[in-house]
Amino acid sequence: MRKLRSTRRTVNAGAASYRRIYAVVRRIPRGRVASYGQVARLAGLPGHARQVGYAMYALPAGTKVPWHRVVNAAGAVSRRRVPGAELTQRMLLEREGVRFGARGRIPLDRYGWNGRAIAAR
């Protein structure tokens, strides 16, 4: 893991980042959601929200990572390349008790994960 440092820096860093990202996502409590930016920050990659999305995209089918708990900063399910998957995510969240607002947006002040413990609200 740490034997390579300079030449493969890019690839290595990328893989390590993915691991960190997944580790953070795994920590999101059931019935809570976190934004891509928040996950990035907690993973030690501030400002790399986009990469978090990319990492999610790279997740294999049947993963144990609760990727559906990651939404964008607006509290909405981000549109994806493959239409329909958004509904899957929404379904998974509703199954955990997350309620969606009028325009399919989740009130982050209520379901947002504070990054450590479960906020009262």
Partner DNA sequence: ATCCTGACTGTTC
Partner DNA sequence: AGAACAGCCAGGA
Residue numbers at the binding site for DNA (CB under 7 A): 10-11, 13-14, 17, 35-37, 47-54, 56-59, 67-68, 70, 72-74, 78-81, 85, 89, 103
**CB 107, CB 71: distance < 8 Å:** no
Angle formed by the axes of helices 49-57 and 9-26, nearest 10°: 80
CB of 104 to DNA, least distance (A): 11
CB of 48 to DNA, least distance (A): 5
Measured from the CB atom, the residue of 8 and 97 that comes closer to DNA is 8
DSSP state of 105: B
The amino acid occupying position 4 is L
Answer positive or negative: Cα dihedral of 109, 36, 57, 4: negative
CB of 38 to DNA, least distance (A): 7
CB of 90 to DNA, least distance (A): 11
CA-to-CA distance for 121 and 109, rounded, in angstroms? 7
Measured from the CB atom, the residue of 54 and 100 that comes closer to DNA is 54
Measured from the CB atom, the residue of 24 and 70 that comes closer to DNA is 70
